[in-house]
Structure formats: C-alpha cells, structure tokens
C-alpha cells in the first residue's frame, strides 16, 4: 500500500557531530531525516559522516587518550559523579528529546533515562571496582600484582529504541576506566546522545574524551576497520550484530554485539491471570513494543488458561491509551518511523495469512488530530504455532502472540528451542517449576513473576544464542572487564645481585 509523502516542519534544524568538545558541522554532503513520530513531520537533518570524518574523530580521541588514562581513577570518579548530578538535573530535557524523536511516551522516556543514569552511578565506584590483585611474598622477596588498564579508543554503536539508556550503558563504564569514546548513535534520534556528550564535558571531562559521530553504514564500517579503535560495543538487530561482530573481530578488536529477541512468558495454570494480564500489557505494549526485552509471546499451558487470559486481555488491548508522546497519562505512543510501522503491519498480515487468529487488529487505529503520525494500535494474536515465520522472527512492535501448549515441559522448550535467547519469564506459584525453568531454559535473562527481567546496573545485561555475540555482557562488572586489559607484574627486590638463570623460572 502506497504511503503519502512525509510532512515537513517549517523549521528544519541542522544537527551536527560533537567532536573535541564542540559541535562540528558535517562535511560529507549527506544527511538523514529525523522525524517527530507523533506528528509525522520532519524536524531536523543529521549529518551522515564520511570515512574521513570518522577518521578525524578517531584521531581526536586517540590524542585525548593518554591524558585521560593518566588521570587518577579518583578524579575520573569525581567527574562521573558530577555527570550523574547533571544527568538528574536534565532528566526531563533528555526525556523530551527522546520522546520527540523516538515516540516513547514521556513517562517511559523518563524511566529509560533513569536506567541509563543508574549505570553512570555504578561507574562512580570504579576506584574500588578497578582495584587489581596482589599476592605478597609468593617466593622469597617476590610479589605478584595485577592491574586493569584501559584499551584506548573504543566505539559504541547504539540503536534507535533507547537513545539515552544504551549510550549511557556503554559510555559510563568505558569512560570511567580511562578509555576515550566515539559514539555512533542511531541516525533516527541523535539529539539526546549529542546532549549526553555535551553534559560530560560540562561535568569537567577534557574535550575529545567523549565524541559523537552521526552516520550510517559508512561511519560504522570506518569504526569497525580502523586499527586505532580497540573495542566495539553494539546493540541492534541480529543480522547487523553478526556483521559487526564478524567485521570487528576480523580487524583484531574486542566486540560485544547484542542482537534481536523473541521473548516468551510461560504461564502455568496456577498463575494469577489478572497479575499475568497486567504484566503482559506493560511488557508487550510499553514503548510500542520497541524493546529487545519486550514480551512478544505468551505461552499458555492449557486451552483454559489461554481462553481466560485472552478474555481479560482483549478489552484492555482495545482500550490502550495511545497518543502523542509528550501527552501525559498515556500508555503508548507512535512507532519510530513510517517504514518501521509498515514493517510491523506486514508482520500482522503475515500472521493472519499463516493461520493465526487476530483477536485485536491494531492496524485499524487512528490517532485523532495526529493522523500523519506513525501510530499503530495494540495487536493480539492467538493460535500461533512454532513453524510460523511471524513467530520465528522479531516483530519489534506492539504485537503479542499467544501460543497454546499442553504441558510445562512443552512450553519451556519453546524458549530454549527458539533461535533467539535474550529474555524470558515464567508466571507461577510453583517454586519447583520456577526453579527448574530458571535453571534449564537456554536464555540469558530470566524473570520469575517478573515480566521484563532487565538486570540492575550492578549486574549485567546479555542474551544467548542469536541474541548476543561476544564473551562479555553490557554494563556491571562485565563491562569493567570488557573495557580493560589485565597487566600482571612479578616484582623482586634484592639486596645483592641476581645471578643469570637459563632454566624456566621456578619460584622457590
């Protein structure tokens, strides 16, 4: 179905890069369009960096690295603490930038900013977390100690769905450990990441330590291939995650690449279905389903459970409060772009064509007064089966699929057997079943009566199978290990000279 041409705001803002503590206009001559999804109008243009522009930013970060790495960890912690304070002071401003360009309702945007700030707060503890190990007198007069050293220039490539939280996941731990950062945010909503970098300089960081380069594949490839970039952190779709991981590691870099998801909630017959319905409404339709931890599949053990649950869900899905992202009291805003909305609509049609039953069809939704916005209503689909393409693939929209199984074992196997392994949850009053599920399911993050089990900042975030590539998770102590390398020193001080030794050293 053809779509009308995008509306254009009368005032189009020209965005920039942020390099060496200053806004820098793009010089490639290429720009990406940024929209207000609620209105469906173009509001700004973001420059798409050329390879040479990226290389210039890398040179700035490389030049800033020695001084930043030599800054005491206590001083870096103080700068990070001031940064946290500024982030709190500007939380509503940052959330507004997110809502205006992504479409997340303002309350949800505020929450996502807060979850990013929590990682920066955790990073303030680096003076303790970054301590090495020391072994005294392992042999006569010999001590061994280890320390964690920063890698150098590192890059973060972040998705459109969390333009505040995920940049802070990456930058917080990378910066506190002494690395310099180049952030390549999504070109769909770059204003918040630019502001995050500004605030870090305002907190007292030297220019060139935290840089933002806007761009598309050309910028990404430049970061992946340049030998001066030592590590890449990525969050996005699985096909791109595979590409990023393969390319980065082929060029000798560390890489953590987080991909897509298809998260299941297993619902046992003893679960309180009112609680389940409440959990599913937020987990499936919050942020218009544009979360890699959204619950997109409800797995009901028994037809009775499925029938009762659908009876509860159907009127709630039909009554979702949907509207412009800056209005308060809403549950869902628009999707990020017209193209993405249309992609989700195609998945709904695919599910219907495959034989699923549309209980609620969100394609009929119209936002009064914002007819040009990229809106889609909540969709509820029953009778989904494992072989369906709409089940196997990530939809990434406000679509909840219901599957019916005959037993706990059959339901648990669905999450284990699915190609993705990001998050899953189980709702039950049976402790033994919950414990078995958490222990055996082949998924990286598990919730027990918790619908979206995103770990707090002092743990770490990461999936399994096609949801993650690389050996380290995001944030927490995993990030400390990812952004540092271990140096171990064996030290010996003698009062007399040391004789030459030609055999393998053996401590005595």
| Whole-number pLDDT of residue 206 | 98
Residues 306 and 299: their CA atoms lie apart, in Å, by 8
Same domain as 372, residue 235: no
| Whole-number pLDDT of residue 440 | 98
Same domain as 479, residue 335: no
Residues pairing with 90 in the sheet? none
Q: What is the DSSP pairing of strand 180-184 with strand 153-157?
A: parallel
- φ, ψ for residue 32 (rounded to 5)? -110, 145
In a domain, 495, yes or no: no
Same domain as 176, residue 75: yes
| Whole-number pLDDT of residue 2 | 30
> Coil, helix or strand for 286?
helix
| Whole-number pLDDT of residue 140 | 85
Q: Is 455 exposed, middle or buried (0-12, 13-18, 19+ CB in 10 A)?
A: middle
Region label for 20, one of left (φ > 0), alpha (ψ between -120 and 50) or beta (otherwise):
left
In a domain, 460, yes or no: no
Question: What residues contact 501, with CB distance under 8 A and at least 6 apart?
Answer: none
Same domain as 230, residue 337: no
Number of H helices, E strands in the chain: 16, 23
User: For residue 41, what are its two tokens?
Assistant: 């109008």
CATH number of the domain enclosing 347: 3.40.309.10
In a domain, 442, yes or no: yes
Tokens 């690295």: give the residue. 65
User: For residue 81, what are its two tokens?
Assistant: 């603490």
| Whole-number pLDDT of residue 141 | 87
Residues 442 and 422: their CA atoms lie apart, in Å, by 9
Strands (E), 422-463: 423-427, 445-448
Same domain as 314, residue 214: no
Same domain as 167, residue 47: yes
- In Å, how far from its chain's centre is CA 415? 21
| Whole-number pLDDT of residue 11 | 82
Please report, in tens digits, the pLDDT of each residue of the chain (508 residues total).
Answer: 233 334 555 689 999 999 999 999 999 999 999 999 999 999 999 999 999 999 999 999 999 999 999 999 999 999 999 999 999 999 999 999 999 999 999 999 999 999 999 999 999 998 898 898 999 999 888 999 999 999 999 999 999 999 999 999 999 999 999 999 999 999 999 999 999 999 999 999 999 999 999 999 999 999 999 999 999 999 999 999 999 999 999 999 999 999 999 999 999 999 999 999 999 999 999 999 999 999 999 999 999 999 999 999 999 999 999 999 999 999 999 999 999 999 999 999 999 999 999 999 999 999 999 999 999 999 999 999 999 999 999 999 999 999 999 999 999 999 999 999 999 999 999 999 999 999 999 999 999 999 999 999 999 999 999 999 999 999 999 999 999 999 999 999 877 666 677 777 665 5
In the chain, how many domains are there?
A: 2
In a domain, 362, yes or no: yes
CB 321 within 8 A of CB 377: no
Residues pairing with 475 in the sheet? none
| Whole-number pLDDT of residue 5 | 38
319-336 b/e (C-beta count within 10 Å ≥ 16 → b): ebebbbbbeeebbbbbbb
Same domain as 143, residue 35: yes
Question: What residues contact 205, with CB distance under 8 A and at least 6 apart?
Answer: 68, 79, 83, 175
| CA-closest candidate to residue 68, choices 77, 76, 60 | 76
Q: Is 94 exposed, middle or buried (0-12, 13-18, 19+ CB in 10 A)?
A: buried
| Whole-number pLDDT of residue 108 | 97
Alpha helices in 72-164 (DSSP H): 73-89, 91-102, 106-123, 126-129
| Whole-number pLDDT of residue 228 | 98
Same domain as 302, residue 318: yes
Residues 121 and 137: their CA atoms lie apart, in Å, by 37
Active site residue 367: no
Same domain as 169, residue 181: yes
Catalytic residue among 192, 255, 292, 300: 292
CB 237 within 8 A of CB 259: yes
| Whole-number pLDDT of residue 504 | 73
CB 189 within 8 A of CB 101: yes
In a domain, 418, yes or no: yes
CATH number of the domain enclosing 122: 3.40.605.10
Residue 71 belongs to what domain range? Answer: 7-259+467-488
| Whole-number pLDDT of residue 507 | 57
CB count, 10 Å around CB of 35?
Answer: 27
Which of 421, 448, 475 is the last residue before a domain boundary?
Answer: 448
Residues 346 and 379: their CA atoms lie apart, in Å, by 12
CB count, 10 Å around CB of 432?
Answer: 8
Residues 215 and 30: their CA atoms lie apart, in Å, by 9
Residues pairing with 31 in the sheet? 47
CB 116 within 8 A of CB 122: no
Same domain as 180, residue 114: yes
Same domain as 281, residue 247: no
Same domain as 351, residue 244: no
| CA-closest candidate to residue 394, choices 302, 289, 487 | 289
In a domain, 508, yes or no: no
């Amino acid at each position: 179905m053809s779509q009308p041409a995008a509306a254009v705001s009368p005032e189009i803002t020209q965005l920039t890069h942020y390099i060496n503590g200053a806004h820098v206009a793009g010089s490639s001559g290429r720009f990406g369009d940024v929209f207000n999804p609620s209105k469906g109008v173009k509001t700004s243009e973001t420059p798409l960096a050329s390879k040479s522009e990226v290389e210039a930013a890398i040179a700035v970060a490389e030049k800033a690295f020695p001084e930043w790495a030599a800054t005491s960890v206590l001083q870096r912690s103080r700068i990070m603490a001031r940064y946290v304070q500024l982030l709190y002071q500007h939380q509503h401003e940052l959330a507004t930038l997110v809502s205006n360009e992504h479409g997340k309702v303002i309350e949800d945007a505020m929450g996502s900013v807060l979850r990013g700030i929590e990682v920066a707060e955790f990073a303030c503890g680096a003076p303790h977390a970054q301590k090495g190990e020391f072994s005294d007198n392992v042999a006569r007069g010999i001590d061994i100690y280890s320390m964690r050293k920063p890698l150098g220039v590192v890059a973060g490539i972040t998705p459109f769905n969390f333009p505040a939280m995920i940049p802070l996941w990456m930058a917080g731990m990378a910066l506190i450990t002494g690395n310099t950062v180049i952030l390549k945010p999504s070109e769909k909503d770059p204003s918040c990441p630019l502001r995050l970098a500004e605030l870090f300089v305002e907190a007292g960081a030297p220019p060139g330590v935290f840089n933002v380069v806007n761009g598309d594949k050309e910028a990404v490839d430049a970061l992946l291939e340049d030998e001066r970039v030592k590590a890449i952190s990525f969050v996005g779709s699985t096909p791109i995650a595979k590409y990023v991981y393969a390319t980065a590691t082929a060029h000798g870099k560390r890489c953590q690449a987080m991909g897509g998801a298809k998260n299941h909630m297993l619902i046992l017959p003893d679960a309180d279905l009112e609680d389940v319905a409440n959990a599913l409404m937020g987990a499936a339709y919050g942020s218009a389903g544009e979360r890699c931890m959204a619950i997109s599949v409800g797995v009901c053990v028994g037809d009775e459970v499925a029938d009762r649950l659908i009876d509860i869900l159907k009127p709630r899905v039909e009554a979702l409060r949907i509207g412009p992202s800056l209005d308060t009291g809403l549950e869902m805003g628009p999707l990020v772009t017209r193209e993405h909305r249309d992609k989700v609509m195609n998945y709904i049609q695919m599910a219907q064509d495959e034989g699923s039953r549309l209980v609620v069809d969100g394609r009929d939704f119209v936002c009064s007064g914002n007819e040009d916005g990229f809106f889609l209503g909540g969709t509820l689909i029953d009778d989904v089966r494992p072989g369906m393409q709409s089940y196997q693939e990530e939809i990434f929209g406000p679509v909840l699929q219901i599957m019916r199984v005959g037993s706990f074992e059959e339901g648990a196997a669905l999450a284990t057997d699915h190609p993705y392994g990001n998050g899953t949850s189980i709702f039950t009053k049976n402790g033994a079943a919950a414990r078995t599920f958490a222990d055996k399911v082949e998924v990286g993050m598990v919730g027990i009566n918790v619908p979206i089990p995103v770990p707090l900042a002092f743990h770490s975030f990461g999936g399994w199978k096609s949801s993650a590539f690389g050996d380290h998770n995001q944030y927490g102590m995993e990030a400390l290990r990812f952004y540092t390398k271990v140096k171990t020193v064996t030290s010996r001080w003698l009062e007399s000279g040391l004789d030459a030794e030609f055999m393998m050293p053996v401590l005595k």
